[in-house]
Chains A and B, each alone.
Chain A
Amino acid sequence: MRASGVSKQVSSGGQPLTILDHVDLDVAAGESLAIVGSSGSGKTTLLSLLAGLDLPSSGEIALAGTSLNGLDEDARAALRAGRVGFVFQSFQLLAGFTALENVMLPVELAGLGDARARATAALESVGLSARLGHYPQQLSGGEQQRVALARAFCGEPQILFADEPTGNLDTITGGHIIELMFELNRARNTTLVLVTHDATLAARCGRRLTLASGRVQAQ
Chain B
Amino acid sequence: MNVFAFAWRRLRRGWRSGELLIVMLALIIAVAATGTVHLFSERVRLAIGEQSGDTLGADLVYRARDPLPASLQASIDALGLHGTATTLFSSVVFAGDNSALASVKAVGSGYPLRGAITLAAAPFEDGHAAHGVPAPGEAWADARLWQDLQLQPGAELQLGRLHLKLRGVITDEPGKGAGFDDLAPRLLINADDLAASGLLGVGSRAQYELGVSGARDALARLRAEPLADGVKLTTPQDARPELRNSTRSAGQFLDIAVLAATLLACAAVALSARQYGEKLRDEIALLKCLGARRGFLTRALLLQLLLLGLAAGAAGALLAYGAQELLARALGDLLKLDLPPPPLLPLLEAAGLGLLLLLGFAAPPMLAARNTPPLRVFQRSESGSTATRAITLIAMATAAALLWLATGDVRLAGWVLAGAGGALLALASCAWLLVRLLTPLRRAAGGGGFAWRFGLGNIARRRGATIAQVTALGLALLALLLVSVVREDLLSSWQKKLPPDTPNQFLINVQTEELDALKSFFAAHGYADLQLWPMARGRLIALNGKPVTADSFPDPETQRWINRDFNLSWSTTLNPDNRITQGRWWGEAGRGKPLLSADAYAIERLNLKLGDTMTLDFAGEQQTFTVSSFRTVDWDSFKPNFFLLAPPGAVSDLVPRQYLTSFYLPHEQRALLRQLVTQFPNVTVLDIDALMAQVRGIVDRIVRAVEFIFAFTLAAGLAVLLATIEGTRSERVRETALLRTLGAGTGLIARGLIAEYAVIGALAGGVAAIAAQTLAWVLAANVFHIAYGPRPLLWLIGTASGAVVVCGLGWLSLRSTLRTPPNTVLRQS
Contacts and interface: CB of A to CB of B under 8 A. Distances in A.
Interface in A71-111: 73-74, 77-84, 86, 88-90, 92, 94-98, 101, 104-106, 108-111
Given A53-B822, A53-B823, A116-B445, A86 B742 contact: yes
B828 interface: yes
Contacts of B650: none
B450 A88 contact: no
Interface in A47-67: 47-48, 51, 53-54
**Interface majority SS on B: helix, strand, loop or mixed?**
helix
A81 B744 contact: yes
B745 interface: yes
Contacts of A83: 743
Contact of A90 (B457, B731, B746, B828): B828
B748 A109 contact: yes
A138 interface: yes
Nearest to B829: A90
A204 to B, nearest CB: 22
B735 interface: yes
Interface in B399-419: none
B438 to A, nearest CB: 13
A92 B743 contact: no
Contact of A51 (B741, B744, B745): B741
Contacts of B380: 136-138
A105 B823 CA distance: 18
B381 A138 contact: yes
Point out which of B446, B731, B738, B829 has the most chain A C-beta atoms below 10 A from its C-beta.
Answer: B446
Contact of A92 (B454, B738, B823): B738
6 contacts: A48-B826, A74-B747, A84-B743, A86-B742, A105-B742, A137-B379
Given A51-B741, A80-B741, A94-B735, A88 B825 contact: yes
A182 interface: no
Nearest to B453: A108
Given A44-B826, A53-B826, A54-B821, A115 B446 contact: yes
B379 A109 contact: no
Interface string B427-461: 00000000000000011011000100010011001
A74 B446 CA distance: 22
Given A95-B731, A116-B445, 15 more contacts: A48-B823, A53-B821, A73-B746, A73-B819, A74-B746, A80-B741, A82-B743, A83-B743, A88-B825, A92-B828, A96-B461, A108-B450, A116-B443, A137-B380, A163-B826
B467 to A, nearest CB: 14
Contacts of B379: 137-138
Contacts of A137: 379-381
Contacts of A73: 740, 746, 819, 821-822
A86 B823 contact: no
Interface string B157-180: 000000000000000000000000
Contacts of B458: 96
B445 A115 contact: yes
Nearest to A85: B742
A163 B824 CA distance: 13
Point out which of B462, B739, B826 has the most chain A C-beta atoms below 10 A from its C-beta.
Answer: B826
A113 interface: yes
A138 B462 CA distance: 16
Given A54-B821, A77-B822, A104 B445 contact: yes
Contacts of A81: 742-744
Contact of A106 (B445, B454, B731, B742): B742
Given A89-B829, A114-B446, A105 B739 contact: yes
Point out which of B450, B745, B827 has the most chain A C-beta atoms below 10 A from its C-beta.
Answer: B745
A136 B380 CA distance: 8
Interface in B322-380: 379-380
Interface string B737-778: 011111111111000000000000000000000000000000
A97 B743 contact: no
B470 to A, nearest CB: 16
A74 B823 contact: no
Interface of B: 379-381, 442-443, 445-446, 450, 454, 457-458, 461-462, 731, 735, 738-748, 819, 821-823, 825-829
Contacts, number: 100
A81 B819 CA distance: 17
Nearest to B447: A113
Contacts of A136: 380
Contacts of B741: 51, 53, 80, 86
A96 B462 contact: yes
A124 B239 CA distance: 85
Which 10 A-B residue pairs are closest in the complex by CB-CB distance? A81-B743, A137-B380, A96-B461, A53-B823, A48-B823, A137-B381, A80-B743, A115-B445, A74-B745, A53-B822
Contacts of A104: 445
B730 to A, nearest CB: 12
A47 B743 contact: no
Point out which of B381, B738, B741 has the most chain A C-beta atoms below 10 A from its C-beta.
Answer: B741
A106 B381 CA distance: 25
A145 to B, nearest CB: 14
Contacts of B819: 73
Contacts of A114: 445-446
B751 to A, nearest CB: 13
B53 to A, nearest CB: 62
A39 B458 CA distance: 37
A153 B743 CA distance: 14
A5 B557 CA distance: 100
Given A92-B738, A138-B379, A109 B826 contact: no
B818 to A, nearest CB: 10
B383 to A, nearest CB: 9
B821 A80 contact: no
B152 to A, nearest CB: 91
Given A48-B823, A96-B461, A101 B442 contact: yes
Contacts of A78: 743, 745
Contacts of A116: 443, 445-446
A209 B745 CA distance: 31
Contacts of B450: 108-109, 111
A114 B828 CA distance: 31
Point out which of A54, A73, A111, A114 has the most chain B C-beta atoms below 10 A from its C-beta.
Answer: A73
A79 B740 CA distance: 11
Nearest to B448: A111
A152 B446 CA distance: 19
Contacts of B740: 53, 73, 77
Contacts of A74: 745-747
Contacts of B823: 48, 53-54
A88 B823 CA distance: 11
Point out which of B458, B742, B744, B828 has the most chain A C-beta atoms below 10 A from its C-beta.
Answer: B742
Nearest to A115: B445
Given A53-B826, A108-B450, A77 B445 contact: no
A77 B743 CA distance: 4
B462 to A, nearest CB: 5
A110 B443 CA distance: 17
A56 to B, nearest CB: 12
B825 A109 contact: no
A101 B446 CA distance: 13
A53 B825 CA distance: 9
Given A77-B822, A90-B828, A137-B380, A109 B445 contact: no
B461 A97 contact: yes
Given A88-B826, A116-B443, A109 B461 contact: no
A151 to B, nearest CB: 8
Contacts of A97: 461
Contact of A94 (B738, B745, B746, B828): B738
A106 to B, nearest CB: 5
Contacts of A92: 738, 825, 828
A192 to B, nearest CB: 17
Contacts of A89: 829
